Amino acid sequence: MTGSWSWDGASNRVRADMFVALLFNVDPEAAEAGLPAAAFSAGIHPEDRDRVLALLRRRVRDGELYVIEYRVRSADGVTRWVLGRGRFLADHRGRPISGHGIIVDITDVRSGERAAGALSALDHHEAETPLERAADFAMAAHRAICELQDPALRARADALLLDLGRRLADQEQQARRAQLN
């Protein structure tokens, strides 16, 4: 599952869809209207919080695309692994003005339930869409590429994950709209 968020630099408020709100254990209606960024920070697992917030502060300053895996404590009381991808934008003076991104629940992939190998994953996940399978394999490839410490290759893997994440978010949004109709 994938959700999206946006950040307003002037108010330091984050707006997020229901999926992201539930992952970070915040009220979905309040998240849709916009909550202080600290409300979402509180949902990050305490062992990961400093690392995640340090990266986000750097990316707010430099505006570069980021991809990071970390744990959250979701509304159902389960600790989940997520993959966060996003970017922050600055005005002509370099002041951060906004940000946007996606959050993908990768708990199954991290726990090994869905990453038992390419062939077995294809066999066991026939019900998934090709896009969902591609995202699973891209996340596994991204982890391996990060170990190589090759910045050019990592940038390509980051771009692939971002593009797949956007398409998954669009797919989720279309499915939600179809349920409402």
Token pair belonging to 41? 């920070």
Higher per-residue pLDDT: 114 or 89: 89
Tell me the torsion sign for CA atoms 36, 39, 45, 49: positive
Q: Which residues contact 30 (CB under 8 A, 6 or more apart)?
A: 21, 39
Give the confidence band of 25 by pLDDT, cuts at 50, 70, 90.
very high
Residue 169 confidence (pLDDT) above 60: yes
Q: How far apart are CA 83 and CA 68, in angstroms?
A: 6
Whole-number pLDDT of residue 176:
64
- How many residues can be counted in the chain? 181
CATH class of 2-180: alpha beta
Task: Please tell me the predicted confidence (pLDDT) of residue 67.
Answer: 86
Pick the more confident residue, 142 or 34: 34
Dihedral pair phi/psi, residue 87, rounded to 5° = -155, 150
CB 27 within 8 A of CB 21: yes
Tokens for 174, please give them: 């279309």
User: Contact at 8 Å (CB) between 73 and 45?
Assistant: yes
Q: Is 156 helix (H, G, I), strand (E, B) or coil?
A: helix
- Residue type at position 151: P
pLDDT in tens, 30-88: 999 999 999 999 999 999 999 999 999 999 888 888 888 999 999 888 999 999 988 89
Between CA 69 and CA 81 the distance in angstroms is: 7
For position 173, what pLDDT does the model report? 65
**Average pLDDT in the chain:** 82
Looking at the chain, the whole-number percentage of residues with pLDDT higher than 90 is 40
Residue 13 near residue 35, CB atoms below 8 Å: yes
In this prediction, residue 98 carries a pLDDT of 93
The residue ranges of every structural domain in the chain are 2-180
pTM over 0.85: no
Give pLDDT, residue 122.
39
CA distances from 45 to 23, 70, 82, 116, 126 (A): 11, 8, 11, 26, 32
Q: Is the pLDDT of residue 115 over 70?
A: no
CA distance 21 to 26: 5
